[in-house]
Amino acid sequence: MSGNLFTQLAAVATRSAENVCLLLPDGSEISFAALYEQAGRFAGALKTLGVAPGDRVVVQVDKSPANLALYLGTLQSGAVYVPLNSAYTLEEVAYFLGDAEPRVFVGAQRSDDLEARFTDVHFHTLDAAGGGSLASLAADVAPSDDVVARAGSDLAAIVYTSGTTGRSKGAMLSHDNLASNAASLIDAWGWQADDVLLHALPIFHVHGLFIAMHCALTQGTPMIFLPKFEVREVLRWLPRATVLMGVPTFYTRLLAEADFTAQAAAHMRLFISGSAPLTPQTFDAFEARTGQRILERYGMSETIINSTNPLIGERVAGTVGFPLPGVEMRVTGDDGAELSRGEIGMLEVRGPNVFSGYWRMPEKTAEEIREDGYFITGDLGTQDADGRISIVGRGKDLVISGGYNVYPKEVEGVLDALDGIDESAVIGVPHADFGEAVVAVVVPSGEDVSLEALRVALDDRLARFKQPKAVINLKELPRNTMGKVQKNVLRDTYVALFQR
């Protein structure tokens, strides 16, 4: 049997043909049969454009049912799906086109500039309403029933990592990576035949595209398909849903709504969080409000999901749970040797979820995937005696001040728990004396927080070397679309704080 993930998905679609696949904001519905017919049309359209197995199809469009059908049609045609964040600028897109060398680029609108620069690429458009030149082409072809055979190890997608520094790297994910991870998640999260997923994530990122959608698509269950997270809209649809997958900001925004009550959440089976750290404060506030404990899990573009808190059993705030079955994780020191349980080091992961390398970057791949198959995640963490994983920060976030290692997450945890601080981000900036100085960027709940007040509050909570040497008050922290705090932006902004 072909290793093409589409074969597996299409079998489900055939079994569930008349079931609702997508529930849309205007109340209309799209069946599995209708979605896969549209996918077949896109597969036919790509074929007329000369797309061959392994060719890249780069897509930068707004989230829509047509966008989902294009993803499926790309898989069906044996091509490699390359989603791009819709916020990328023309120059950024130009980099991706140069790097991925696609046969086809599908954008939200035409760009004469890009078309002049990439003459080998077929340029097409697809809009959120399902119109555009690719949709017209697809409407003129008969839906294709052919599924191009692929080996499980063949590429299904290239996902460019958000990469805070340097060139963005394309993580190469195979059909087997996607299929095995979907199967593990369905098991781990106990997916049920009557589950309804509230889908408010973007679908240019692994979270919304693979983690969330594959659970529903491989089980033939419906998704409430919202173009983006808009809290009133999410509250309106919540009564129809059983599962919500979100980034931590989804949960803080829900908690800010007075009518998000225990009763409003009572019918929900599962709230899942990932892509950025969920603070214990949010976890606790959510439980206090709804009686439900958010299930936090840990993943990344290169490996989809690595670990999850348990469905049944203790979900511990501030931890990301246990490696999925078949996935191995370890914590290593600077020399690459495995550390003892409880020690902080680099998190590494090996298993059927781990990508095959970075697109056309063999040196980067060799640097980050060890010979024994472990991928060096770049996240610092610990594993306790039972095997439970906690993340303490990104490797590059580590601040070394006066020779001491300071883990920003530890300091942020203490700051976030103080009265008068809503949230915080801790960064290191150059300092003549200490090498780096710890700087607290805080969002105060009322008055600005002074360094003196912080010192008094922290003195018995944190060792001196961990205490901030400056505090910056902001109205909000800069975040990307996946809810991650953009520490690189903060570091760039405050780089000269201690320079005269």
Tokens of 298: 């840990």
CB of 366 to ligand AMP, least distance (A): 19
- Would you say the C-alpha torsion 101, 138, 210, 180 has a positive or negative sign? negative
State the chain's maximal CA–CA distance in angstroms: 72
Number of H helices, E strands in the chain: 17, 25
Question: How many of the chain's residues bind ligand AMP (CB under 6 A)?
Answer: 19
Residue of the chain from 293, 394, 461, 479 that contacts ligand AMP (CB under 6 A): 394
- Per CB under 6 A, contacts with ligand AMP among 246-265 are none
397 near ligand AMP, rule: CB under 6 A: no
d(CA 298, CA 389): 9
Please, which residue, 126 or 254, has the CB nearer to ligand AMP?
254
Residue of the chain from 31, 133, 162, 486 that contacts ligand AMP (CB under 6 A): 162
364 near ligand AMP, rule: CB under 6 A: no
379 near ligand AMP, rule: CB under 6 A: yes
* Rounded (10°) CA dihedral 226, 231, 233, 239: 100
Q: Which range touches ligand AMP (CB under 6 A), out of 95-103, 293-301, 327-335, 414-422?
A: 293-301
Closest CA to 380 of 393, 398, 367, 399: 393
Please, which residue, 473 or 486, has the CB nearer to ligand AMP?
486
Please, which residue, 147 or 294, has the CB nearer to ligand AMP?
294
293 near ligand AMP, rule: CB under 6 A: no
300 near ligand AMP, rule: CB under 6 A: yes
d(CA 72, CA 57): 12
Residue of the chain from 19, 31, 133, 161 that contacts ligand AMP (CB under 6 A): 161
Residue of the chain from 20, 186, 231, 276 that contacts ligand AMP (CB under 6 A): 276
188 near ligand AMP, rule: CB under 6 A: no
Q: Which range touches ligand AMP (CB under 6 A), out of 236-244, 251-259, 375-383, 440-448?
A: 375-383
Q: Quickly tell me which residue has 């003129």 as its tokens.
A: 140
For 119-159, the DSSP string reads: TTSEEEE--TTS-SHHHHHHHTSPPP-------TTSEEEEE
271 near ligand AMP, rule: CB under 6 A: no
Question: Binding mask 113-152 vs ligand AMP (x if CB under 6 A, - otherwise)?
Answer: ----------------------------------------
Closest CA to 324 of 135, 182, 201, 195: 182
Q: Quickly tell me which residue has 């060799």 as its tokens.
A: 366
Q: Which range touches ligand AMP (CB under 6 A), out of 36-44, 178-186, 208-216, 268-276?
A: 268-276
Helices (H), ranges, 220-372:
231-237, 248-255, 262-265, 280-290, 362-368
What is the chain's alpha carbon radius of gyration, rounded to the nearest angstrom?
23
Q: Which range touches ligand AMP (CB under 6 A), out of 53-61, 141-149, 196-204, 270-278?
A: 270-278
Residue of the chain from 174, 218, 353, 377 that contacts ligand AMP (CB under 6 A): 377
Closest CA to 23 of 239, 198, 210: 198
d(CA 90, CA 60): 11
Could you tell me if 59 and 82 are in contact, meaning their C-beta atoms sit under 8 angstroms apart? yes
298 near ligand AMP, rule: CB under 6 A: yes
Please, which residue, 44 or 393, has the CB nearer to ligand AMP?
393
Measured in residues, the chain has a length of: 500
According to DSSP, the residues that pair with 304 across neighbouring strands are: 300
Q: How far is CA 359 from CA 174, 175, 284, 291, in A?
A: 12, 16, 41, 45
CB of 357 to ligand AMP, least distance (A): 15
Q: For residue 381, give the H/E element and its range.
A: strand 375-383
According to DSSP, the residues that pair with 298 across neighbouring strands are: 307
102 near ligand AMP, rule: CB under 6 A: no
Quote the distance between the C-alpha of residue 5 and its chain's center.
Answer: 20
59 near ligand AMP, rule: CB under 6 A: no
479 near ligand AMP, rule: CB under 6 A: no
d(CA 453, CA 408): 19
CB of 300 to ligand AMP, least distance (A): 3
CB of 388 to ligand AMP, least distance (A): 13
CB of 308 to ligand AMP, least distance (A): 9
CB of 485 to ligand AMP, least distance (A): 10
CB of 273 to ligand AMP, least distance (A): 7
CB of 330 to ligand AMP, least distance (A): 16
- Cβ neighbors of 203 (< 8 A, separation 6 or more) are 63, 67, 68, 71, 83, 209, 213
Q: Which range touches ligand AMP (CB under 6 A), out of 95-103, 149-157, 210-218, 299-307?
A: 299-307
CB of 206 to ligand AMP, least distance (A): 6
453 near ligand AMP, rule: CB under 6 A: no
The amino acid at residue 434 is: F
412 near ligand AMP, rule: CB under 6 A: no
Q: Which range touches ligand AMP (CB under 6 A), out of 3-11, 291-299, 328-336, 338-346?
A: 291-299
Closest CA to 415 of 379, 384, 451, 378: 451
Q: Given the rule CB under 6 A, which residues bind ligand AMP? A: 161-162, 206, 274-277, 296, 298-301, 320, 377-379, 391, 394, 482
